[in-house]
Amino acid sequence: MKIKRSIGLGIGFTFSFAVIALSFQNCAQQQNMSSLSSSSNSGDATTDLSGDAALKASELDEPVPVDSKQTLESMMSLLNLSPADINKTEVNAEINYRRNLLAPRGDLAFISSPAMIAMTSLAGVVCKQAVAKEKKGTRDLFKFIDFTKGPSAYGKVGAYNTFAAMAQRFWMRNPTEDEKKAITETVDAYFSTLDATAMGKATESEKLATFICTGMLSLPESYLM
């Protein structure tokens, strides 16, 4: 199990680097992947997440795979997000784009590279909603990150403490020694990409918060409960 956790940490954090880069730098555009599942799901309808009661798993329209419903509901619950807290158009687009690639809930046997990429991309979109919420309200998940200042204001300690706090919430336990080491290495790697100018930019704090959240939320232990 220790090996699986280490592999999971590495995959989650690596993919989240890519997600944040694409999200904030607009380096690439999504390509339609519906052809991957059209042969077996040609009758599937897209999910409409609009409306006051949107995003509750029990109320999402069939025949969208139940795993997509449960995964989204689980992510929103972990981040304490309600339908009113999110950009429904953005989440709509992502869940419909990824819905047939997500691993069945609770089944590690179905974890694959495409499933991890899909999960990390979805986590990135959901985490952006959490960051936007806390930027304009009370900080909870990101209480160690100051969105009005750059990363130099709180440094690696703030980033590490954010990772640790999310581990306690998502996993309901403290990180193991191996996980602490992986988190420290991830924080060091992330900060090595920031120059002096970036360290002073408040926008970089938003990117960092989204990166941490995406890396943690996309780990199998967080969502395969």
Q: What is the distance in angstroms between the CA of the first residue and the CA of the last residue of the chain?
A: 15
Flag whether 50 is in a domain: no
CA dihedral (184, 190, 195, 196) in degrees, to 10, reads -50
Flag whether 47 is in a domain: no
Flag whether 145 is in a domain: yes
- Looking at the 3D structure of the chain, how many domains does it have? 1
Give the per-residue pLDDT at 8: 46
DSSP-assigned letters across all residues of 98-127: HTTTSPPTT-GGG--HHHHHHHHHHHHHHH
For residue range 48-95, list pLDDT tens digits in order: 444 443 444 444 443 344 467 778 888 999 999 999 999 988 988 888
Higher pLDDT, 96 or 75: 75
Closest CA to 70 of 107, 23, 43, 32: 107
Flag whether 125 is in a domain: yes
DSSP secondary structure letter of residue 42: T
C-alpha angle with apex 208: 152 to 167, nearest 5 degrees? 110
**Whole-prediction pTM:** 0.72
Q: H helices of the chain, where?
A: 2-25, 38-41, 66-78, 88-98, 113-135, 155-171, 177-191, 196-199, 202-217, 220-223
Give the per-residue pLDDT at 1: 47
For residue range 135-160, list pLDDT tens digits in order: 998 999 999 999 999 999 999 999 99
Give the per-residue pLDDT at 92: 81
Flag whether 160 is in a domain: yes
For residue range 184-207, list pLDDT tens digits in order: 999 999 999 999 999 999 999 999
Give the per-residue pLDDT at 72: 84
For residue range 18-38, list pLDDT tens digits in order: 444 444 433 333 333 333 333
Give the per-residue pLDDT at 102: 65
Flag whether 30 is in a domain: no
Phi-psi region at 23: left, alpha or beta (left = phi > 0; alpha = psi -120 to 50): alpha
Give the per-residue pLDDT at 105: 52
DSSP secondary structure letter of residue 63: T
Q: How confident is the model at residue 210 (pLDDT cuts 50, 70, 90)?
A: very high
Flag whether 209 is in a domain: yes
Q: Which domain holds residue 70?
A: 2-23+63-223
Closest CA to 159 of 190, 198, 134, 128: 190
Flag whether 67 is in a domain: yes
Residues 6 or more apart in contact with residue 130 via CB below 8 angstroms = 79, 80, 81, 85, 141, 142, 213
Give the per-residue pLDDT at 35: 32
* Distances, alpha carbon 116 to alpha carbons 57, 76, 83, 113, in Å: 21, 18, 25, 5
